Amino acid sequence: MAVDLMNKSVYLDTTIPSYLFDDRENIKVHIDVTKKWWEQEKDNFETWISEETFNELSEGDYPRKDEILEFIREIAILPPHQEIVQIAKVYLNNYLMPQVLKGDVLHLAYASYYKIDFLLTWNCNHLANANKRQHIRVVNARLNLATPEIITPLELFSENNNDYE
């Protein structure tokens, strides 16, 4: 099933909305890049989250959690589908992610199932990891699924916006 979009589509994992409201010094560069991307680039894309994004933010311990939850109410939510869980289980069986049926594995399953162009994340261990890209592509090809570009906001600025080069 494809999402019918005029613009390119972006799926936001939990890190993106949470960093928009974060103020930790140790991730300040990521926070600043995320805010800049949101302000300058997000209107160039159809942005989506899933129930998994909402659930993680609802259940987690995030600074300014109430503001984050209010903020994400304005972002379109991809509907759940049983096939997404089956895709996630295949990912787990192929050791793409930690062996838990939540979080990263579901973010990837949603983005792949709905043929989202970009999965935007700051999770460079399990998602935006060059060492995993080929493995993800191989598994998705076996499932006859598109593979989103799994990237950080730093990689999704327009060509004319070179402040972070």
Domain boundaries, the chain: 8-155
pLDDT in tens, 80-130: 999 999 999 999 999 888 777 778 999 999 999 999 999 999 998 888 888
Query: Span 8-155: which CATH code?
Result: 3.40.50.1010
Mean pLDDT estimate for the chain = 90
Q: How many angstroms separate the CA atoms of 118 and 110, rounded?
A: 11
Q: Are 19 and 31 in contact (CB under 8 A)?
A: yes
**In the predicted structure, residue 37 carries a pLDDT above the cut 70:** yes
pTM over 0.95: no
At residue 11, φ and ψ (nearest 5 deg) are: -100, 130
Q: Are 153 and 120 in contact (CB under 8 A)?
A: yes
pLDDT in tens, 51-82: 999 999 999 998 899 999 999 999 999 999 99
Q: Are 18 and 71 in contact (CB under 8 A)?
A: no
Q: Are 44 and 5 in contact (CB under 8 A)?
A: no
